Copies of this chain bind each other. A is one copy, B any other.
Amino acid sequence: MLEPMTGSSNPQKNPPKAVNVGPWSFGGSQLQVIAGPCSVESKEQLLTIARSVRQSGATILRGGIHKMRTNPNSFQGLGDSGLPIVSDVKKELGLPVVCEITDPRQIEGFLEHVDFFQVGSRNMYNYALLKELGTIDRPILLKRGFSALIEEWVSAADYIRQGGNQNVVLCERGIRSFEKITRNTLDLAAVTWVKQNTDLPIVVDPSHATGIPSLIPALSLAAIAAGADGLIIEVHHQPEKALSDGHQALTLEAFQELMLEIKRVAPIFNRQLEAHLHV
């Protein structure tokens, strides 16, 4: 049975609600680092990346199978045929996995293989999808629409929670502005505001926010300082050959270095990265 609705848009400060994904918890003192490729391309690719990011300390694996691409002729992901790959890699490494869901009709297949369902930025206003996700008992990673008001984003979480599924984690991934050097404008004030004014855990995606790998390490630390409960970072063993968004992926080595920095810095913000205890 799901818990009764809490009402995330409640203006008074709510005690943070912990959301569990596999053995991990979002919203308490743990810091979660989700890492992996933009798109799942093959089992070999996913396994190579997953082994490395797990070794570096990532706690959850990311990998898209249904991609939302502007151009209908761009690579759209492997689709549901990618699910067994995700499932195999997850079992082999013991890492929970997050995949983006883009259609209510994918829910059944996802329930069998995917630990954490991501609603992408383009679907934040897809209330039909959100309502369906409110009826299941699986944690949801709800990305901010790239032009969504904070208020609309928190209300989108309520579309899920009113159905009974309280397990929503927000993800700030940059908003659209006039600035062109960065792909989007990372809004870390939104992270601090969400922590102070809602009961929702929140993570930050510096990869989509900036689109520039060299900016990702410093902004990951800044996100932790701003109060984020975790990070989601695109990593690829061969960024230049990736089928989507390779230009913004960290290499395996750059991710490893970043994780060392995160482990060094997180404790001063009272955050523990516990993955190394388990690997």
Contacts and interface: CB of A to CB of B under 8 A. Distances in A.
A128 B104 CA distance: 9
Interface in A74-96: none
A155 B71 contact: yes
Each complex incorporates copies of this chain amounting to 4
Contacts of A224: 225
Nearest to A101: B128
Nearest to A146: B147
Interface size class on chain A is: 35 or more
A74 to B, nearest CB: 9
A173 B220 CA distance: 20
Contact of A227 (B125, B145, B218): B218
A126 to B, nearest CB: 5
A23 interface: no
Interface string A46-83: 00000000000000000000001011100000000000
Closest 8 CB pairs of A and B: A147-B147, A122-B125, A103-B128, A221-B225, A222-B225, A222-B226, A222-B222, A176-B178
22 contacts: A70-B152, A72-B127, A102-B127, A104-B105, A122-B125, A147-B147, A147-B176, A149-B178, A150-B179, A177-B185, A181-B190, A182-B193, A185-B189, A186-B187, A188-B188, A192-B219, A192-B222, A195-B218, A219-B226, A222-B222, A265-B268, A265-B269
